[in-house]
Amino acid sequence: MQTHDATLVVAVRSDVVGDRTVATMSAIDAPATRDRARLDHTTSFLGAAITSGAITTDSASATAVIADWHAQLSTAVSLEAGLVVAADLLDDAAIDWRLTKGPALAHLDYDDPAMRCFGDIDLVIHPAHWTRALAVLRDAGMRRETPELAPGYDDKFGKGATLCSASGLEFDLHRRLAIGRFGVRAAMEDLFTIADHIELAGRRIPCLDGPGRLLHACYHVSLGGFSGLRARRDVAQLVLVTAVDWRRTVAIASGWDGAAVIVRAITDTWSTLDLDTRHPAHRWARAQRVGRADMRALGVFGADGSFRAQALTALGALPLRWWPSYLVALATPRLARGRR
Amino acid sequence: MTPERGSPSTPQVFRRATDAVWRATPGFLALARPDGATLDVSGPGFRIWQLLVTPATMTELVIVLATEYGAPLDEVERDVDEFIKTLADSGFVHADP
């Protein structure tokens, strides 16, 4: 179980539950709390909580937090402008894709998009278009951060690829929502039957629908390694504020043998943010029994195990004939140097 | 107040560039466009940007802001004029006609 900065917990939960808990951030603690908030992109919640009085602090720390927030907003709009360029490229190539996480949540699930900051753009690519999508973006000058572990690895087993634009904007292209056991079980086509949309720079951007966004948020909480408070806030926001059809999320995950991921994400979110346990989603989660193999796999991710350890959780979910190529790919010396 | 820009009978109407993406919070406005242009503005500019959700003339903006901030019209007009000029120069606001 991760431990979280107590001040940030108050900040992240304060406006979603509407409680009036007041915390103090001392001038001594402020630099470390600001660092954690910047890393997890929860500075917006910290800034809003200071503004509303849910967190009290000295004026210098308050000013510094607001400056951090503004810097993250500048990053967010630069990323969104870059997204519009990428959207044109993908659409011109007739690639089926969906925006997910950061900007999708900011515009669809938060009253004020300024409350949901992010440091990259996440795109889910239809499995049939994966290779072409990478080629299109590379041809446009984007650079892949780390090479594919082995030819064909991404499409067959991988989570995706991170691309960087010439101006340094980071795009995470998702072939799956996670590596390992729960990643390889996912039939990603299921996320492309429907879409929500946002408009950016006068352009219509396709996004995962509500249940899909919740699914991805849950995968991030349960399988994202160090997944901080922001990911848990997203789950709470989607269930409690947007009120997405969480049962549909469960149905999709169950079809992938991934209900355990949703169970873990909801129980973890409710416990971390101390949310009302009478909510039906929490009651459902508490009533589920997670099998031993799924528990073991969740444990590897929860303990923030190495990439290789997380990837190896896939073995039990892969056909035996695929084991050799999978194990050979994971044996690459690059992984020993700590690729995540 | 100084006369509106544009012809005497048709004051200029200012509108947001349609390709702008933005975030506005009290005291701060961040803008960007797909061509790579960016602009960060501190101060009351965020409120002017909010008001431009509907295209508006300089007079309309000044009257609203002077009322909200309880400031003299000529003072507000100077600030609005300067801010609109910054936005127009960087292509985040266009003027009609």
SS3 sequence of chain B: CCCCCEECCEECEEEECCCCEEEEECCEEEEECCCCCEEEEECCHHHHHHHCCCCEEHHHHHHHHHHHHCCCHHHHHHHHHHHHHHHHHCCCEEEEC
Task: Mark yes or no for CB contact A77/B23 under 8 Å.
Answer: yes
Within 8 A of B50 by CB-CB distance, chain A residues are none
The pLDDT tens digits for B39-95 are 999 988 899 999 999 999 999 999 999 999 899 999 999 999 999 999 999 999 999
Interface check B19 vs A, CB under 8 A: yes
Nearest residue on chain A to B39, alpha-carbon basis:
A74
- Average pLDDT of span A210-226: 93
- Look at A111-115, A224-228, B81-85 and tell me which has the smallest mean pLDDT: A224-228
Q: What is the average per-residue pLDDT within A297-306?
A: 88
Nearest-CA distance A316 → chain B (Å):
45
Q: How far does A121 lie from chain B, in Å, by closest CA? A: 14
The pLDDT value recorded for residue A17 is: 80
Min Cα–Cα distance to chain A from B22, Å: 6
Smallest Cβ–Cβ distance between A202 and the set B18, B40, B42 belongs to B18
Q: Is A320 helix (H, G, I), strand (E, B) or coil?
A: helix
pLDDT score of A45: 96
- Indicate yes or no: CB of A73 within 8 angstroms of CB of B30: yes
A274 DSSP assignment: T
B21–A81: do the CB atoms touch at under 8 Å?
Answer: yes
A62 close to B (CB below 8 A)? no
C-alpha–C-alpha distance, residues A314 and A204, integer Å:
36
Chain A partners of B28 at a C-beta cutoff of 8 Å? 66, 70, 73
pTM: 0.93
Among A111, A167, A114, which Cα is nearest to B22's?
A114
Query: B33 in contact with A at a CB cutoff of 8 Å?
Result: yes
* CB within 8 Å: A78 and B38: yes
pLDDT band at A333 (very low <50, low <70, confident <90, very high): low
